[in-house]
């Protein structure tokens, strides 16, 4: 999972500052690396490095990033690698010069890499599928054989991309002297949103992964880019949108609404906040129906993502709600730690319990989901150490039993705590007195109520049904070999400290 943003201004030359602000807002989508590319007088200016946005860009870097248009990226490694060479954006010199930022994951990467070498005569320099996607697009655009391109050339190239590429991709690109563009895969798995901001000085156009990146900077939401659509914004600020897929099908990733997106975002006309409220309502209804005997004294969320659902759950059940766990905001999201040892260490540093809210009480802890169970197990123990009489656990999402292949680096199947376990066995594994999961039908209902036109979601991590229809056991075995925690820990240990920077130092 990554965050992407692109801005084109019709007058101002301070685009990089706004991209920086947008990336900071999207930092929750990736904390491994950050990068910005701008274009000015036909030249690219780029700065990218491992690390957070605030650590990647200094005053000298921002002064260097000239131009009235640019793109930015925050990276979350989808295969456990955190190599600086794979920090985005990427760029190619031919044709015209193209810089590119991508959120998602391609599922036919090996075939495409072979095609690029044998048919397109293009060289790939990293293991990143984003570089492959860029080169597929560049190769198709090069086939236009034109000195000066227009939006129809972009649309024609995107059509070819859709025909060749499978998987999840929301992308934003920039061509110096021409403008910026973006497109979304035919299933719309990853989000892409368009907006504009008009002032006396002119108009700024922005593409971003989440609406909050636009609204927080004063932009008006224009539209969600639909599955298979491409948008082109030229230097004069003209916006052109065209459907480029033969059979687009809305199938957004439901885990965006469970965990990744900020609650103040609206994606595909669905309020993330309201979806999480409904998750709390449905979970409360299930508890009310199935819970018997033991009284719940207090509902405590595991911050931050579960807070909205937990508050609504407590309200529905008329049970006291308390912020009994305090989060150290300077610790990264443990979901995206590169290995189990680091993850365990981070959980201990990340949260602390307020003993007053636990001592002598039957506590219901609420989390957005349970993946590996590492965090859940430690927090249950933390609650007991704080004096909880009994510790119950509720998940706003169903049990995660299958890998996500569309851009979320969930564990290999065998590392899921729910792998080959019943709910009772999972409960015992995390040390809770009772465990309750959201039903998948209820989760789908919670999200779908925001936009009833969307009839299908990618729920593959819960039900093993992959919307692209090209995932087999061989592919999943390969993913497991890449994503195993032992591999991630090795990659982290061998990580080079060299930073990638294509600018002056």
The pLDDT tens digits for 416-461 are: 999 999 999 999 999 999 999 999 999 999 999 999 999 999 999 9
| Token pair belonging to 135 | 């080169």
How many angstroms separate the CA atoms of 267 and 53, rounded? Answer: 23
Residue 263, CB half-sphere, CA atoms under 13 Å: how many? 15
How many angstroms separate the CA atoms of 437 and 427, rounded? Answer: 11
Q: Which residue has the tokens 């690109």?
A: 173
Pairing state between β 179-184 and 239-243: unpaired
pLDDT at 360 exceeding the cut of 90? yes
Q: Would you list which residues are annotated within the binding site for Mg(2+)? A: 305, 367-368
pLDDT range class, residue 83, cuts 50, 70, 90 = low
Section 54-59 average pLDDT: 95
Q: What is the pTM of this model?
A: 0.91
pLDDT for 127-173, tens place per residue? 999 999 999 999 999 998 888 999 999 999 999 999 999 999 999 99
> Shortest CA distance to 391 belongs to which of 349, 417, 421, 430?
430
Query: pLDDT value at position 345?
Result: 59
| Token pair belonging to 244 | 């480029």
Query: pLDDT value at position 413?
Result: 85
Domain with CATH 3.40.50.2020 in the chain: 268-493
Classified by CATH at the fold level, domain 3-249 comes out as 3.60.20
Percent of the chain with pLDDT over 70: 90
Query: pLDDT value at position 80?
Result: 44
Active-site pick, 2, 244, 459, 461 = 2
Domain with CATH 3.60.20.10 in the chain: 3-249
pLDDT range class, residue 503, cuts 50, 70, 90 = very low
Query: pLDDT value at position 495?
Result: 42
pLDDT at 505 exceeding the cut of 60? no
pLDDT at 501 exceeding the cut of 50? no
Q: In sequence order, which residues have a C-beta less than 8 Å from that of residue 99 and are 6 or more positions away?
A: 37, 39, 44, 46, 71, 89, 90, 91, 173, 174
Section 373-384 average pLDDT: 95
Section 65-79 average pLDDT: 88
> Shortest CA distance to 22 belongs to which of 197, 222, 248, 229?
197
Domain 268-493 sits in CATH 3.90.230.10: no
Q: Would residue 253 show up in a list of annotated catalytic residues for this protein?
A: no
pLDDT range class, residue 245, cuts 50, 70, 90 = very high
Specify burial of residue 504 (Cβ count, 10 A radius: 0-12, 13-18, 19+): exposed
Specify burial of residue 319 (Cβ count, 10 A radius: 0-12, 13-18, 19+): middle
Percent of the chain with pLDDT over 90: 81
SS3 381: helix
Query: pLDDT value at position 122?
Result: 95
Residue 230, CB half-sphere, CA atoms under 13 Å: how many? 20
Residue 256 per-residue DSSP state: I
Q: Would you list which residues are annotated within the binding site? A: 305, 367-368
């Amino acid at each position: 999972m990554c965050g992407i943003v692109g801005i084109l201004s019709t007058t101002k030359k301070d685009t990089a500052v706004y991209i920086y602000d947008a990336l900071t807002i999207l930092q929750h989508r990736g904390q491994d690396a950050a990068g910005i590319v701008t274009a000015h007088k036909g030249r690219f200016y780029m700065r990218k490095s491992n690390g957070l946005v605030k650590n990647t860009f200094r005053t000298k870097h921002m002064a260097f990033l000239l131009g009235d248009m640019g793109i930015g990226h925050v990276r979350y490694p989808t295969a456990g690698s955190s190599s600086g060479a794979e920090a985005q954006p990427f760029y190619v010199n031919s044709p015209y010069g193209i810089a590119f930022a991508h959120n998602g994951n391609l599922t036919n990467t090996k075939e495409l890499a072979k095609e690029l070498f044998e048919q397109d005569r293009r060289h790939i320099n990293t293991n990143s599928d984003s570089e492959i996607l860029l080169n597929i697009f560049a190769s198709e655009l090069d086939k236009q054989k034109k000195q000066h391109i227009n939006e129809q050339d972009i649309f024609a190239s995107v059509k070819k991309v859709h025909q060749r590429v499978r998987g999840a991709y929301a992308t934003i690109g920039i061509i110096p002297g021409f403008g910026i563009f973006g497109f979304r895969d035919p299933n719309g798995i990853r989000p892409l949103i368009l907006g504009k901001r008009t002032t006396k000085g002119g108009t700024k156009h922005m593409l971003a992964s989440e609406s909050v990146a636009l609204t927080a900077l004063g932009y008006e939401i224009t539209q969600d880019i639909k599955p298979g659509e491409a948008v082109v914004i030229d230097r004069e600020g003209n916006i052109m949108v065209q459907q480029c897929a033969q059979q687009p099908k809305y199938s957004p990733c439901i885990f965006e609404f469970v965990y990744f997106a900020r609650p103040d975002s609206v994606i595909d006309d669905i309020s993330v906040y309201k979806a999480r409220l409904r998750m709390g309502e449905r979970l409360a209804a299930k508890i009310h129906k199935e819970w018997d005997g033991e009284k719940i004294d207090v509902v405590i969320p595991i911050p931050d993502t579960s807070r909205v659902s937990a508050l609504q759950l407590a309200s529905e059940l008329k049970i006291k709600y308390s912020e009994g766990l305090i989060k150290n905001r300077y610790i990264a999201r443990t979901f995206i730690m590169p290995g189990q040892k680091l993850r365990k260490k981070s959980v201990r540093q990340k949260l602390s319990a307020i003993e007053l809210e636990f001592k002598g009480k039957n506590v219901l802890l609420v989390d957005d989901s349970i993946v590996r169970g590492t965090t859940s197990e430690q927090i249950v123990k933390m609650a007991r150490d704080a004096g909880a009489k009994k510790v119950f656990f509720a998940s706003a999402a169903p049990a995660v039993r299958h890998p996500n292949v569309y851009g979320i680096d969930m564990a290999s199947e065998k590392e899921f705590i729910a792998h080959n376990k019943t709910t009772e066995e999972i409960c015992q594994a995390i040390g809770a007195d009772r465990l309750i999961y959201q039903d998948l039908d209820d989760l789908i209902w919670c999200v779908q109520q925001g936009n009833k036109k969307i009839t299908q979601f990618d729920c593959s991590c819960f039900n093993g049904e992959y919307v692209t229809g090209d995932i087999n056991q061989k592919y999943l075995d390969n993913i497991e070999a890449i994503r195993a925690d032992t591999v991630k820990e090795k990659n982290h240990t061998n990580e080079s400290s060299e930073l990638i920077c294509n600018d002056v130092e």
